[in-house]
A and B are shown apart, each in its own frame.
Chain A
Amino acid sequence: MTSGTTTSSGPGPSVPVLDDDPFSRSFLADPYPRHERMREAGPVIRLSHYGIWASARHEQVFAALTDWRAFSSASGVGLADFRKEKPWRVPSLLLEADPPDHTRVREVMTEVLSSRRVRGLREEFAAAAEALVGDLVERGTFDAVRDLAEVFPLRVFPDALGLPEQGRENLMPYGGMAFNGFGPRNDLFHEAMADAARIQEWINEACRRENLAAGGLGQDIWAFADTGRITPEQAAMLVRSLLSAGIDTTVYAIGNALAALAAHPGQWARVHENPALAKLAFEEAIRFESPVQTFFRTTTRTVDLGGVRIGPGEKILLFLGAANRDPRKWINPHTLDVTRRTAGHVGFGTGIHGCVGQQVARLEGDVVLTALARRAATLTPTAAPEPRPNNTLRGFSSAPIRVEKAAVRSR
C-alpha cells in the first residue's frame, strides 16, 4: 500500500492531508514510522480515510487534552460521534462525559482511588508479585506476556475490587471490546464484539452491589450511593469503568515494559543494580511504548490548534503514543532511558480526564519490576514479541524471554 501526503487549501495555512488508516492492521503492527510521518507533516493534519483531524505532536495533543471546554469528550472519545450514532454501550460517566456531570463522579472516583487507599494495596500486591515472579525466575524461561503480564493484574485487581471469582475470564475480552470499540467498525471491532451480549451481561451482574465483596473498591464506590453523592445507577456504572479501564491497560503496560526492558539489556542492568529504579523504568516504558495509543475529542467551537483553524463539532484523533515520542519534546525519543525525566508524557492522558487509576497502575508496574529486578540479572528475548492488534491499545500477545538468575544478595 502506498500512502500519499497532499495539502488541502482553504482559509488560513494549508493543512497536510494523509491517507493512512490508523486502525488498519499494518499501521497498528508498526505504528512508529507512520507516527513520524504524521508528526513531521504538521502540528495538525487531516486523515482523509475517515475525514477527521489528527495531531501527533506533543504540544498540540497536550493542549487539546487540557482544554476540555473546547475539546469535548461527551460525544465519545472514539471515532463514533454520539450525537449522530448510537454508542455500542451506555457511555462511560467518566471517560465520555464533560463537566459538570463529569466533575461529580470524577471526584467520587478520586476519593475511591485516594493515595491512602492505593498505599493500602501495596503489601498485598507486592506479596503476589514476589510469589509469581519468584516461580517464573526459577523456571528460567517464560513468556513475559502470557505468564506474567496477563496473569498478575488478573490475580490482584479483581480481588482489590471484590469481584466474584466465577467468570473473571470475561474481564480481558470486555477490555478488548471497550478499547476496540473506540475505533471504526472494522474486523477488529467485530471480532471483539463476537460474544458481546453474554460478556456484557456478566459485567453488568458483576457491578451489582450484592455481587461485590466487602472491603473492596467496588463496595467503596457503592458506599457513595448511600451518601447521595451518586445514584445507585451511577455506582454500578463506575464499577463498570474500573472493569473496562483497569485490567487490559495494566496487562499491556506491564507486557510492554518487560518487552522493552528485555530489548534494552543495558537499561535492565541498571534496574537490576538498583531496584529503586523500577518505578522510573515502568513510567519510561509507558512513554516509550504507550499502552493507550489514541483517543478522540470533539470540538465544541471554532478552535485554533497549532495555527490551524478547526470548526465546531469536528472529531480530532490525538496520538498519545506519537506525542510521547515527539522529538520537539523528548531528547532521543526512540531510546528507552530508565532515568529519563518523564514528566509531561501523556501515556495516562492528562487534564480532567487523566487516568483516575494511574496510581494503581504504577503500583502494579512497580511491584512486578521490583520483584524481577531483585531476582533476574539479565532478561533476554528468545523470540520477537508478537503484536496484539487493537484499535486503541498497543501491546503484545507474546514475548518469550530467558532470565539469568541473580546471585543471592542481601537486600
Chain B
Amino acid sequence: MREPEFVTVVREKTVVSDGVVGLVLGHAEGTPLPSWRPGAHIDLVLGDGLVRQYSLCGDPADPSAYRLGVLREPDGRGGSSYVHDSLSTGDRILVRGPRNHFELEDAPSYLFVAGGIGITPLLPMIAEVDAGGARWRLLYGGRTRRSMAFLDVLDRYGDRVLVRPQDGHGLLDLRGFLEEATRDTLVYGCGPEPLLTALEDACGARAREMLRVERFTPREAIHDDRDGMFEVVLAQSGLTLTVGPGQTVLECVEAAGIPVLSSCQEGTCGTCETDVLEGTPDHRDSLLTEDERADGTTMMICVSRCLGERLVLDL
C-alpha cells in the first residue's frame, strides 16, 4: 500500500519573516488529515515533476490543518518561488505523506539547534517536549533577526530559547551550547549543511549516540555537483564519446552523427529510452519506476547521466 496522497486547499498564506511564508493547508474534502508526529514532513506535488519536501511545524493534535514554513530559495528550480509568487489562498495542492525520518525519541533532556528555516521540524518537537516536562534548550541561528521565522511562537518559552542572528552574534557557539549536555541528552539539529557538519564536529565521538539531524538538501543541488564528464561507448557504432558538463548524452550522440529518436528532451516522454549494456546510469527522468531505475538496464539519454565514469549503450 502506498503512502497517503490527497488534495489539500491553501487556507492561509502569510509572510512570517523576510523570505519565509507560512502556509496552512486543510483537506480538500474537509475530512481529517492523516496523523503525524513531530519531525515529519510532507511532499508538495507542484506539477511539472516538481516535488518539494516541507516539514510540518504545527500541532500534531490538530487534524484539521498542516502548517508549513517555506523559504524562498533563489537558486532553486522553482518550487519555493512558485509557493511564494503564485500560490494563493483557495488553491488546491496535491500532498503525499506525511513521513518521518527525524523521529523524536524519549529522553530526559534535549538540546535543539536550528539554522534558518531548519526551525520548522523543531517547533512541534519543542512543544511536545515542553508539555511533557523534559528539560530543553534551543539555539536558533539565522542571517538576520528579520529573516528568522516563528520568533513569535518561541516567545512564550522565555530564556530557554537563544536567538542568535549572525549579523549580531557571528557563527553559533555550538561547543558552548553543548556544554549543557549530560550523559542522556539528545541533540536535535536541522539547518544548512555547514551548520550540521559543524554540529557533528562539536559532538565529536558522542555524535552517533546523542545527535539526530535532518538535512534540507534539494535534489537538484546534488545533481549539480555530479554534472561532471564521463565516457559513453556506443557498442553498435563502435564509437567512444566524452559527455562534457552541461551537455546531454543525447546531444553528444547526435553530434557524432548517430540518428536517435527523441522528443520532449526533459525526461517525460520516454522516446529516447536506450539500453544500457555496462555502467550505472544516474536516472533523472520522470518515467522509470523504482524497479527499472534499480535495474539500470535502460535510461533516458536526454536527461540521465552516469554515476561512474563510463557507460556502454546499445547504439
Contact = CB atoms under 8 A, between A and B. Distances in A.
Contact of A116 (B47, B262, B269, B292): B292
Given A114-B287, A114-B292, A116-B292, A100 B261 contact: no
Question: Is the interface on chain A under 10, 10 to 19, 20 to 34, or 35 or more residues?
Answer: 20 to 34
B298 interface: yes
A115 B7 contact: no
Interface in A99-148: 99-101, 103-104, 110-111, 114-116
Contacts of B292: 114-116
Interface in B249-298: 254, 259, 261-265, 268-271, 273, 286-289, 292, 298
B289 A341 contact: no
A362 B271 contact: yes
A68 interface: yes
Given A99-B94, A227-B1, A227-B2, A280 B287 contact: no
Nearest to B263: A343
From A111, A116, A339, A352, residue with most partner B Cβ within 10 Å? A116
B270 A352 contact: no
Given A115-B270, A348-B269, A100 B45 contact: yes
B94 A280 contact: no
A397 interface: no
B265 A280 contact: no
A24 interface: no
Contact of A358 (B45, B86, B269): B269
Q: Give chain B's interface secondary structure class.
A: loop
Contacts of A110: 286-287
Given A115-B270, A354-B269, A339 B2 contact: no
A374 interface: no
Interface string B1-42: 110010100000000000000000000000000000000000
A20 interface: no
B271 A358 contact: yes
Interface string B78-98: 000000001000001110000
Nearest to A113: B270
Contact of A104 (B94, B263, B289): B94
A215 interface: no
A344 interface: yes
B45 A103 contact: yes
A362 B260 CA distance: 14
Contact of B7 (A101, A114, A277): A101
Interface in A337-362: 339, 341-345, 348, 350-352, 354, 358-359, 362
Interface of A: 68-69, 99-101, 103-104, 110-111, 114-116, 227-229, 277, 279-280, 283, 339, 341-345, 348, 350-352, 354, 358-359, 362
The 10 closest A-B pairs by CB, nearest first: A100-B94, A99-B47, A343-B262, A100-B7, A359-B270, A103-B94, A115-B273, A115-B270, A100-B92, A103-B45
